[in-house]
């Protein structure tokens, strides 16, 4: 199986530049753990795929340019796993690796009619991956179906003895056992499954047609016998603010050795590094410290409702126009940046697993639906996405048809 590798993930002997002028002509010396594991399973890395600079820069990458969306070449794929999404949607490869710190697997998956998973934090080691924000960074696979992702995540999961945040081996083995179990029946039933849907935040800044695609997916789950209940993640606005502080502060720390080359970064990276130099140590530590409380509150909300997954709209709009980097919500143009990560970044902060799956089309452009689970319930999210894809065919639609 051929696969693509995002340009912040090392492939031995290949140029891996993080999409930046600051990295020069760097050649990776060894494979990242994720690449090595796929190779060991027989897969073949054939493409280094574009990224926004250090997975956080602007759509118009200063070193390589913008990656256009195969569904509409005047629009962006979404980032930061731009090239992985573009290659998958253009049918160049059936599998690609991406990373997700604020939504960088799930955003382009939603905007390119793909399926991608941000695993539980620590399930897949990040050894050999350039860090954007070490307490938020995740690595995971992108493909065109949840069935494919279940196979691939089983190969990728488990500690490597090098990433200090990696999951304990017994926990990883339990996840792998679930992933390796038999998939959904040909005519699945969701009787006894409880699905949560949000009433605020995730639905607040969404185009009506995107909401309609999400509601259609929820309706499909209901028709299959699932119980649908209202559930909200507590203090979503505060979590959103904390994500910004943590991500930009850790980015600035990661890049401090190259700040003499500040002018060589693209404008998106410059803005985020500059923002990361503003918070005090107390601000940063407060935002990190609150994570455990937020995780506990979210799990308690899941438990109180008795849900298996939370199903939310994916991204509040379809793909951004490259001409002005805006998205449209109910006929009104909005700057892209505040919209695209709104429904995804909270889950990076919590560290919970989340799958983005195709939900439908709005004026010919893809829209996605996000399935969020408890920690280590990666297979639950993928299994329900697999059920959805067993009874619908949205994920099979091609950009060239």
Backbone angles phi, psi at 171, to 5 degrees: -65, -45
What is the pLDDT, as a whole number, of residue 183?
82
| pLDDT score at 182 | 85
Residue 83 belongs to what domain range?
Answer: 2-396
CB atoms closer than 10 angstroms to residue 37 = 19
**pLDDT for res 59:** 96
Instruction: Name the residue among 149, 97, 105 with its Cα closest to residue 128.
Output: 97
Whether 285 is in a domain gets the answer yes
What is the pTM (predicted TM-score) of this model? 0.98
* 287 located within any domain: yes
Determine the pLDDT at residue 188: 86
Q: Which pLDDT does position 184 carry in this prediction?
A: 80
118 is catalytic: no
**For this structure, is 74 an active site residue?**
no
201 token code pair: 């935040």
Residues with Cβ within 8 Å of residue 198, at least 6 apart in sequence: 230, 231, 232, 233, 310, 312
> Does any domain span residue 122?
yes
Contact call for residues 113 and 86 (beta carbons, < 8 A): no
In a domain, 108, yes or no: yes
End-to-end CA distance of the chain: 24
H or E element at residue 83 = helix 82-89
What span, in angstroms and rounded, lies between the C-alpha atoms of 208 and 21?
Answer: 40
Q: Is residue 319 part of a domain?
A: yes
Catalytic: 287? no
Return d(Cα 351, Cα 340) in angstroms, integer.
Answer: 18
What is the Cα–Cα distance from 39 to 42, expressed in whole angstroms? 5
In a domain, 401, yes or no: no
Given 20, 81, 84, 104, which residue is catalytic? Answer: 104
Among 80, 131, 133, 249, which one carries the catalytic annotation? 80
pLDDT given for residue 210 in this prediction: 98
Number of separate domains in the chain: 1
- Residues 158, 180 contacting (CB under 8 angstroms): no
Contact 166, 159 (CB under 8 A): yes
Task: Report the CATH number at residue 321.
Answer: 3.90.1300.10
Residue numbers of the chain with a pLDDT score lower than 50:
none
Does residue 165 sit within a domain?
A: yes
């Amino acid at each position: 199986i051929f696969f693509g590798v995002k340009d912040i993930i090392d492939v031995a002997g290949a140029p891996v530049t993080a999409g930046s002028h600051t990295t020069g002509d760097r050649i990776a010396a060894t494979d990242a753990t994720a690449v090595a594991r796929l190779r060991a399973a027989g897969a073949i890395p054939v493409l280094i795929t574009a990224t926004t600079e250090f997975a956080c820069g602007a759509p118009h990458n200063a070193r390589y340019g913008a990656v256009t969306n195969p569904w509409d070449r005047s629009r962006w794929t979404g980032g930061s796993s731009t090239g992985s999404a573009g290659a998958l949607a253009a049918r160049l490869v059936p599998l690609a690796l991406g990373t997700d710190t604020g939504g960088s697997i799930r955003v382009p998956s939603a905007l390119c009619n793909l399926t991608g998973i941000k695993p539980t934090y620590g399930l897949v080691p990040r050894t050999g991956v350039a860090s954007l924000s070490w307490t938020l960074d995740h690595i995971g696979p992108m493909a065109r179906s949840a069935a494919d992702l279940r196979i691939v995540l089983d190969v990728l999961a488990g500690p490597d003895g090098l990433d200090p945040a990696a999951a304990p081996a017994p926990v990883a083995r339990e996840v792998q056992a679930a992933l390796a179990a038999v998939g959904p029946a040909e005519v699945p039933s969701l009787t006894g499954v409880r699905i949560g849907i949000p009433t605020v935040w995730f639905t607040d800044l969404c185009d009506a047609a995107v909401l309609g695609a999400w509601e259609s997916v929820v309706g499909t789950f209901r028709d299959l016998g699932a119980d649908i209940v209202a559930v909200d993640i507590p203090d979503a606005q505060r979590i959103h603010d904390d994500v910004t502080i943590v991500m930009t502060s850790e980015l600035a720390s990661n890049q401090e050795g190259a700040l003499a080359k500040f002018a060589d970064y693209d404008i998106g990276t410059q803005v985020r590094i500059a923002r990361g130099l503003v918070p005090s140590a107390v601000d940063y530590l407060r935002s990190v410290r609150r994570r455990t409380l937020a995780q506990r509150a979210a799990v308690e909300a899941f438990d109180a409702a008795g849900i298996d997954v939370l199903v939310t709209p994916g991204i509040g709009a379809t793909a951004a126009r490259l001409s002005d980097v805006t998205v449209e919500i109910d006929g009104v143009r909005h700057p892209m940046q505040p919209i695209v990560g709104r429904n995804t970044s909270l889950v990076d902060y919590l560290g919970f697993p989340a799958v983005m799956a195709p939900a439908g089309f709005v004026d010919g452009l893809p829209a996605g639906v996000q399935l969020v689970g408890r920690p280590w319930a990666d297979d639950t999210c993928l299994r329900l996405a697999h059920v959805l894809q067993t009874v619908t065919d949205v994920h099979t639609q091609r950009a060239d048809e």
